[in-house]
């Protein structure tokens, strides 16, 4: 492992991190990692930075410790090998997803599926989900030593979906994607695809109960966002106001830009990440005030065009994961939705907005326009929590005899 370039030029990396505004603590930790690598490289048979990363994985005390060291190592590797200064994004040291582990034969199946579906006009976000699930299945086969579909045995396919004690591991949506993958890729390996298709088990489609915000919970969130005395930051307060008032997806909140807000026309304009369709919403006073307060008093000075920025330099736009953590922080502050399995993301506010509008008799096309649905049938999922209109579907039991013991006099 040749480290001469790193040895000679690492002071430039540390100087850049100082100039761009990285914390002194983080700069010291990166410097410490550099010195350790330069010192220890002679004591180990490291061929590249991936070997160093494996050593970290084996010797770190906790997973979080390993992730921290891996991130620092990624910064060092990008600078040493590519002359790239850190920008807050993941390095090439970090490979995500099962697709990256697939061998060329199996990767060709996934590529063929994605290309076919995109040409058919399927939304890129949907294709991305199918890609991940199809890759997971093929990676599972690959880990079992399978290189060709013709070598697959029924027991292996069943074990992907069902555990040894006959409990389901994956549901019907996964089954549909794998089934669709194999049928689509028939031109690549007709016999192999047909063989594996015959092994896929029939799984009963189930629908979980939709969790929803109660009126009390919704009001508590509104009160918390309006309360200037609590510990919520101006950024998180503005994000919360957008989510609660518009039911906007977390990913769309994350990609809001400074020019997404048209202050002259009092509108918010975005291109939705999921559908790639434009959406224009009226800029409500409470939302506009929250955004203005954040921009004026808290947003770091930066050339980045994103509206909401990270706390630490180098400043960049936040991710959908950050938006989820903001929602979780609000829930935790209020002490609501603390049971195991409770949903804490802002999508639950999206559900609340839709069901509230449905309960007030607002026409479905109008609701779809507000939340950015393209397919009118998308709103059907929310109708399962529309308690106001669902009550109108209830049948009277007055024609059926009911004993007094069922409803005793009080």
pLDDT tens, residue by residue, 185-230: 999 999 999 999 999 998 876 666 667 788 888 898 999 999 888 8
Q: What is the 3-state secondary structure (H, E, C) of the chain?
A: CCCHHHHHHHHHHHHHHHHHCCCHHHHHHHHHHHHHHHHHHHHCCCCCHHHHHHHHHHHCCCHHHHHHHHHHHHHHHHHHHHCCCCCCCCCCCCCCCHHHHCCHHHHHHHHHHHHHHHHCCCCHHHHHHHHHHHHHHHHHHHHCCCCCHHHCCHHHHHHHHECCCCCECCCHHHHHHHHHHHHHCCCCCHHHHHHHHCCCCCCCCCCCCCCCCCHHHHHHHHHHHHCCCCCCCHHHHHHHHHHHHHCCCHHHHHCCEHHHEECCCCEEEEECCCCCCEEEEECCHHHHHHHHHHHHHCCCCCCCCECCECCCCCCCECCHHHHHHHHHHHHHHHCCCCCCCCCCCCHHHHHHHHHHHHHCCCCHHHHHHHHCCCCHHHHHHHHHHCHHHHHCCCCCCCCCCCCCCCCCCC
Name the residue with higher pLDDT: 273 or 78. 78
Given this model, what pLDDT does residue 394 score? 64
Given this model, what pLDDT does residue 165 score? 86
pLDDT tens, residue by residue, 84-105: 998 877 777 766 678 988 999 9
Which pTM value belongs to this model? 0.67
Given this model, what pLDDT does residue 376 score? 67
**Domain boundary assignment for the chain:** 4-82, 98-197, 215-389
pLDDT tens, residue by residue, 366-397: 887 777 777 766 666 666 554 555 555 566 66
Q: Which fold has domain 215-389?
A: hpI Integrase; Chain A (1.10.443)
């Amino acid at each position: 492992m040749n480290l001469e370039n790193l040895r000679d030029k690492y002071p430039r990396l540390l100087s850049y991190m100082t100039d761009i505004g990285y914390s002194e603590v983080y700069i010291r930790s990166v410097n410490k990692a550099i010195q350790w690598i330069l010192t220890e490289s002679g004591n180990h048979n490291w061929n590249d930075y991936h070997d160093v990363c494996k050593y970290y994985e084996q010797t770190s005390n906790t997973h979080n410790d390993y992730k921290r060291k891996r991130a620092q190592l990624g910064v060092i590797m990008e600078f040493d090998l590519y002359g790239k200064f850190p920008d807050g994004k993941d390095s090439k040291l970090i490979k995500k997803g099962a697709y990256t582990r697939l061998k060329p034969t199996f990767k060709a199946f996934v590529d063929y599926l994605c290309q076919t579906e995109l040409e058919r006009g399927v939304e890129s976000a949907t294709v991305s989900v199918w890609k991940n699930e199809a890759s997971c299945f093929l990676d599972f086969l690959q880990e079992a030593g399978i290189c060709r579909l013709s070598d697959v045995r029924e027991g292996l396919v069943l074990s992907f979906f069902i555990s040894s004690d006959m409990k389901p591991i994956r549901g019907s949506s996964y089954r549909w994607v794998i089934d669709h993958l194999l049928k689509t890729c028939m031109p690549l390996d007709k016999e192999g695809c047909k063989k594996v298709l015959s092994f896929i088990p029939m799984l009963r489609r189930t629908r979980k109960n939709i969790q929803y915000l109660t009126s009390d919970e919704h009001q508590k969130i509104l009160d918390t966002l309006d309360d200037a005395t609590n510990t919520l930051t101006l950024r998180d307060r503005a994000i919360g106001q957008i989510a609660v008032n518009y039911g906007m997806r977390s990913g769309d909140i994350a990609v809001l830009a400074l020019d997404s807000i048209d202050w002259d026309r009092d509108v918010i304009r975005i291109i939705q990440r999921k559908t790639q369709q434009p959406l224009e919403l009226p800029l409500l006073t409470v939302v506009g005030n929250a955004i203005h307060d954040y921009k004026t008093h808290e947003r770091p000075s930066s050339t980045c065009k994103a509206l909401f920025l990270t706390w630490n330099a180098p400043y960049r736009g936040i991710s959908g994961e950050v938006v989820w953590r903001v929602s979780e922080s609000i829930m935790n502050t209020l002490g609501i939705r603390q049971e195991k399995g409770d949903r804490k993301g802002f999508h639950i506010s999206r559900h609340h907005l839709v069901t509230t509008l449905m309960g007030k008799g607002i026409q479905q096309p109008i609701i779809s326009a507000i939340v950015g649905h393209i397919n009118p049938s998308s709103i059907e999922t929310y109708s399962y929590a529309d308690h106001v209109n669902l009550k109108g579907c209830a049948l009277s039991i007055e024609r059926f005899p009911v004993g007094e013991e069922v409803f005793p006099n009080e």
